[in-house]
Chains A and B, each alone.
Chain A
Amino acid sequence: MKYLTPYRSFNLITEAVEGTGLATPAGQPAGATVLSCQFNNKPVTDTKPLTIPGLEKVAGPSLIVWTIQNNDKVPTIIVAVDGADLEVKGALTDWTRSPILPGKTGTVTLKVSHLNSMDCSDKVGSNNLANLAVTTSAGKVQIQVRFIREAAPTRAETCTVKRLESEHNLLTALEIGTGLLGMAFPPLLFVSAGISALDAKMYWDQGDKKMAGLTALFMLLPGSAQLAKSAIGPALKTLGPKGMSLLAGKLAKGTALTVIEKGVVEAIAKNPTVLQQVAAGAKAAAAKAAPVVKAVAAKAAPVVKALKPIAKDVATDTIVNTVYGKGYDAVAGTGQFGLAEFIKTKGYTQNDVKGILAAFGSDDTKEQNSMIVSAMKEGWKLGNIVPEKWRTPSYKAQIKQDTDAVALLNKKLAELGV
């Protein structure tokens, strides 16, 4: 028995091999078979290699679409398409979500972007075989895709790698600062930054830790003895804590910076360990100031309350477009700031937490929430079927109930003849 195995080279030559038939592989359910395959809307046969235009002539990602037929006597549902190797390579899967009626067809789609499908370090001739497990209500169908690098990395790939490395250095540095912030008891940090740190505390009270951290850290920089002696010392003195707070706001909103502000930001970017030193110093100072925290916080509360309505107008979402935002997201994206902060890096809001917990069947424990983080890192989105390896007991029970419900609905309507 044969099954479709399209070969896809990195310079976009694809072919299907392994015989002449597209029949169901041995040992797989007869009820669901791979009927045909297309690569970027061109049919892939297993009798003749298919050559398609080179990378530069193909706009956007490549699509491999398999058509799967339901040969069974009852409707079947594709409940999952898993291919961990592909997800690592940045490939995305999608499939027909509605029940496939007897004799009808559905599709499984693999979307492959050019530059991240294989590592640039892969040697010419190396190849990776990836399996896609298509789970239907009748059983599993296996599909295979082979990636082959047939050409050396293009200039575009090389440039991309270099750019990513450059960004990586900056992000790593900022991660240190934001990581420290997460451990430095921010309310104390705000106190050590002085009464002007109310701006930062206001963000903190709003749940916007990202903006709070940026503001507090920036406001602390003018107080750094080390920085005062550095080249940007005069600039920091000119801006002062309030000016640095404004700078944080500008970065958040992505508005234009003055020459002085730009110089400060560039200097921080070049020597980001200063954030680590400043945060560590502030933490120590804040610990000494702990006894007065309550008193200061009590005085600050009415001010913060009064400022909250105004603060709502301050758009903080745009901070993801700033260097700090990237740094914060890099840390939040690891999950160490908790589920709520993690999902924000995936485009969700605080309001989505409840829905995500419900959809995942999580009991909101650290263990199960870390499963959500892992699943999302591998591409799971709210509303999609959870990959098998990340399913909670509650989810397993729920998906069975849902699948049974749809089957029952179809059966009952068929009985009624409607």
Chain B
Amino acid sequence: MKKIINNFKNWSDLNESVFPSLEKLFTKKMTTKLSTVGRSALEQLFGLIIKNKINFIKSEDGALLLKSSTGVTVPVSQLEKGLSALIDGKVTRDEFIKMVPAKLADGTPFSELTINVIKGSSV
């Protein structure tokens, strides 16, 4: 996962404040809250999300936004909070699936991958 994030940070036009809290999520919550299968699925998920720059855009105030296939955006900070709430069990699997776009801008099916993460989680 660290390799994936480092690779993402190499994008010159999006190299600031990338997933700062998400890194913490990986390093702390993943090891305690997720099963091995869940960690693997989460790594796969974010590997796919960040493989394509088109999935991201920066707002005018510098915030990183995740783009859906339809062009609707979600602030990454909100997504991080949502994932954290999911792993903490504060939102249910079904709730979380309804809170995220079905596909990312490059066509990556976001919801389906998220389901894999949830299935592999211990929460």
- Which residues of the partner chain B approach A79 to less than 8 Å between Cβ atoms? 72
Most-contacted residue by chain A among B60, B72, B91 (CB, 10 A): B72
A77: Cβ under 8 A from any B Cβ: yes
Interface bin, chain B: 20 to 34
The binding surface of chain A is classed by DSSP as helix
- Cα A290 to Cα B84 in complex, Å, equals 66
Give chain B interface residues in 6-63, CB to chain A under 8 Å: 54-55, 57, 59-60, 63
- Cα A162 to Cα B65 in complex, Å, equals 43
A56: Cβ under 8 A from any B Cβ: no
Contact B73 A98 (CB under 8 A): yes
- Which residues of the partner chain A approach B60 to less than 8 Å between Cβ atoms? 96, 107
Contact B71 A383 (CB under 8 A): yes
- Cα A89 to Cα B107 in complex, Å, equals 31
Give chain A interface residues in 306-357, CB to chain B under 8 Å: 354-355
B119: Cβ under 8 A from any A Cβ: no
Contact with B along A361-402 (1 / 0, CB 8 A): 000000000000000000000111110000000010011011
- Cα A77 to Cα B65 in complex, Å, equals 13
- Which residues of the partner chain A approach B75 to less than 8 Å between Cβ atoms? 98-99
- Cα A382 to Cα B100 in complex, Å, equals 19
- Which residues of the partner chain A approach B106 to less than 8 Å between Cβ atoms? 355, 382-383
A23: Cβ under 8 A from any B Cβ: no
Q: Min CB distance, A229 to chain B, in Å?
A: 54
- Cα A413 to Cα B79 in complex, Å, equals 10
Given A382-B105, A399-B72, A409-B100, A96:B59 Cβ within 8 A? yes
Contact A97 B85 (CB under 8 A): no
The binding surface of chain B is classed by DSSP as mixed
Residue in B70, B73, B82, B84 whose beta carbon sits within 8 Å of that of A359 in the complex? B70
- Which residues of the partner chain B approach A97 to less than 8 Å between Cβ atoms? 57, 59, 65, 67, 71, 73
- Cα A401 to Cα B73 in complex, Å, equals 12
For residue B64, which residue of chain A has the nearest CB? A98
- Cα A408 to Cα B87 in complex, Å, equals 18
For residue A399, which residue of chain B has the nearest CB? B70
- Which residues of the partner chain B approach A409 to less than 8 Å between Cβ atoms? 74, 78-79, 82, 99-100
Contact with A along B76-97 (1 / 0, CB 8 A): 0011011011000011000100
- Cα A200 to Cα B18 in complex, Å, equals 47
- Cα A97 to Cα B100 in complex, Å, equals 16
Contact B91 A412 (CB under 8 A): yes
A358: Cβ under 8 A from any B Cβ: yes
Interface bin, chain A: 20 to 34
Q: Min CB distance, B95 to chain A, in Å?
A: 7
Contact A402 B72 (CB under 8 A): yes
A405: Cβ under 8 A from any B Cβ: yes
B102: Cβ under 8 A from any A Cβ: yes
Contact A383 B54 (CB under 8 A): yes
- Cα A412 to Cα B92 in complex, Å, equals 11
Contact A406 B107 (CB under 8 A): no
- Which residues of the partner chain B approach A383 to less than 8 Å between Cβ atoms? 54-55, 57, 67, 71, 105-106
Contact A406 B74 (CB under 8 A): yes
- Which residues of the partner chain A approach B63 to less than 8 Å between Cβ atoms? 98
Q: Min CB distance, A345 to chain B, in Å?
A: 18
Q: Min CB distance, B69 to chain A, in Å?
A: 4
Contact A413 B70 (CB under 8 A): no
Residue in B73, B78, B85, B107 whose beta carbon sits within 8 Å of that of A354 in the complex? B107
Contact B72 A385 (CB under 8 A): yes
A298: Cβ under 8 A from any B Cβ: no
Given A96-B60, A402-B101, A416:B73 Cβ within 8 A? no
9 pairs, CB–CB < 8 Å, chain A vs chain B = A96-B60, A99-B75, A355-B105, A359-B70, A359-B107, A399-B71, A405-B74, A406-B101, A408-B98
Please report B residues at the A interface, Cβ cutoff 8 Å.
54-55, 57, 59-60, 63, 65, 67-75, 78-79, 81-82, 84-85, 90-91, 95, 98-103, 105-107
Please report A residues at the B interface, Cβ cutoff 8 Å.
77, 79, 96-99, 107, 354-355, 358-359, 382-386, 395, 398-399, 401-406, 408-410, 412-413, 416, 418
* Nearest 6 Cβ contacts at the A-B interface: A385-B71, A355-B107, A409-B99, A383-B105, A402-B72, A358-B107
Given contacts A97-B57, A383-B57, A405-B100, 11 further A-B contacts (CB under 8 A): A382-B106, A383-B54, A383-B71, A385-B72, A403-B72, A408-B98, A408-B99, A412-B99, A416-B91, A418-B81, A418-B90
